[in-house]
Each structure stands twice: as structure tokens, then as C-alpha cells.
A and B are shown apart, each in its own frame.
Chain A
Amino acid sequence: MIHTVGVADMTVSRQSSDILITHALGSCLGITVYDFKQNIGGLLHPMLPDSNFDQAKAQANPFMFVDSGLRLLLEKFYQAGSEKRNLIIRAAGGSSSKTDEEDDFFQIGRRNFISLRKFLWDEGLMLKSYDIGGYGSRTVTLEIDGGRMTIKYNGDVKYI
């Protein structure tokens, strides 16, 4: 079954026939977590870097922010008995809203990715791979059977 993950949302699955997908990743991130021992996968689609900037919004929807969203996503894995060393974490998105990033005043995409790396460093985790930046929109899928992550970007398809 295909599960579509909306903006500021998250899905976790352990059904091997499931595919998680999120569309229209611009400056937002598509963050996938996959436990290769238990074949559990999760996909998060946060919009903004840091829940400290707007705690009311973060309370209403933690998945809006990279840090609060990923904390909840990882909790699902820990509750399922996942060990950090078995988690594969990958990310895509973080595009600029301008063709020249220097013209992008807020650089939300870049901030999102830095925030992700800070969260992982504090949590004692590392990114396995990523496809970040540029200009344009990405679609990300995660297959629960095997954990393959696919990115469609500007007409190209890549696996990371």
C-alpha cells in the first residue's frame, strides 16, 4: 500500500508491502529513518528548522519542525526496540527558493539541513547519505521491503 506523507506530517510502517511517499519537497526536508534489522521505515516532511522559534506551533504540530518532528519519529523506532546502530538516516530536499542561493534571503532549505545535522550530532547519529540543495522540487519514496530510498528531482531518478 502507498502512504502519502503530507507537509508537516510523518508516517511509520513495518508492512513490507508498504511504500511511503512525499511530494513537492522544496525547501522542506524529506527525512527517512530505516531500521535494517527490523525492516521498519519512517518518513517525515518538516517545513522549518527549529521548534524553539515558535513553540506554540511546535506544540500544535511537532512535525512542522525538523528537531521536534525527528525527535518524535525516532521515539517510534526506540519504542519498537530499534537500536541507534541499526538506523539508516537519509535526507532529501532543502532547495533554495531562488536559482542563486545567495539571493534567497531566508535560506530556509539550508537552515533545515543544518538543523537536521545538529539534531543528529546531539542525538549521536549520522546521516548515511543525502541529496540536498539546488533549485526545484523533489519527490521521495521509501520502500519498507529493503529500505530503498528513491528521489525524483528535475526529471532524474536516484537512489541514495
Chain B
Amino acid sequence: MALNTLVVDDSSVMRSIIIKTLKLAGLSLGAVLEAGNGQEGLKLLEDNWVDLALVDIHMPVMDGEEMINRLRQNKEYHDLPVIIVSSESDSARIEMLQKTGATFMHKPFTPETLREAIIEVTGVSHEE
């Protein structure tokens, strides 16, 4: 199954790193959509189906926390697998976000640790 993926981060360079890691992780990737903040991310989801979202927290316009909360209230996307990729270090906030069912990946990260998180969340592993 080809995974359609949404990457939401206000840094275009960080989005490139995440997308390259997705490609190197050995998964069968479908469309990869990019958004610079939560609002743009939600807009993309109105017209596109995705199987996985990687979302930053600290972003202008709409942060990742609000985006994820809105996703969870949406009938179509309430159980979308989400990986939060953020430098957020407040354990109470991280715990609250994890309660929404999201997996937390702390920045900085290595491509290998992000790959592990992607495989764990999607249940899809490298075809060896």
C-alpha cells in the first residue's frame, strides 16, 4: 500500500529532511504533501486523503497542537496516524498531545530514529 503523507512544518528545510527520511526509510510512498502551518495542513486535508501526518508544534498562524485537536474532531481524520516532530520539551504538554493518540518524536532526531517511529506508527516495514 502506498502511503500518502502530509508533512507540516514552518521550516522548508526541515520538511525536506523529513521527506528525504520518508523516502530512505524503504516504505512504499504515495503522494507527499507539504504545509507551512496547521491551517495550511487542514486545508490540504479537505481535498486530499492522507494515511500519515508528521506535524511540528511551534508554527505561526496555527500551531500543531490546535491542528491535531481539530483533526481529532473530524470524522474522517479522527484516527489518522500522527507523528509530532518537535523540539517541545514540556513533559505535561507532550503527555497531553500523546493522549490524542499521536506519537512524539523529539527534535533533534536522527533519520534512523524517525524511520523507527514511522515504521511503528504505520506498521509498514522495509521490504527485505
Contacts and interface: CB of A to CB of B under 8 A. Distances in A.
A124 B110 contact: no
A113 to B, nearest CB: 11
Contact of B25 (A36, A121, A126): A126
B124 interface: no
B40 interface: no
B112 A124 contact: no
Contacts of A126: 24-25, 111-112, 115
A8 B25 CA distance: 30
A117 B112 CA distance: 10
A108 to B, nearest CB: 20
Contacts of B115: 126
A34 B24 CA distance: 17
Q: In the complex, which of the residues B25, B111, B115 has the most CB atoms of chain A within 10 Å of its own CB atom?
A: B111
Interface in B7-43: 20, 24-26
A124 B17 CA distance: 11
B128 interface: yes
A125 B112 contact: no
Contact of A36 (B20, B111, B112, B128): B128
A24 interface: no
Contacts of B111: 121, 126
Nearest to A86: B128
B10 to A, nearest CB: 22
Contacts of A124: 20, 24
Interface in B85-121: 110-112, 115
Contacts of A121: 111
Interface in A65-95: 85
B22 to A, nearest CB: 11
The 3 closest A-B pairs by CB, nearest first: A126-B24, A127-B112, A126-B111
Interface of A: 36, 85, 117, 121, 124-127
Interface of B: 20, 24-26, 110-112, 115, 128
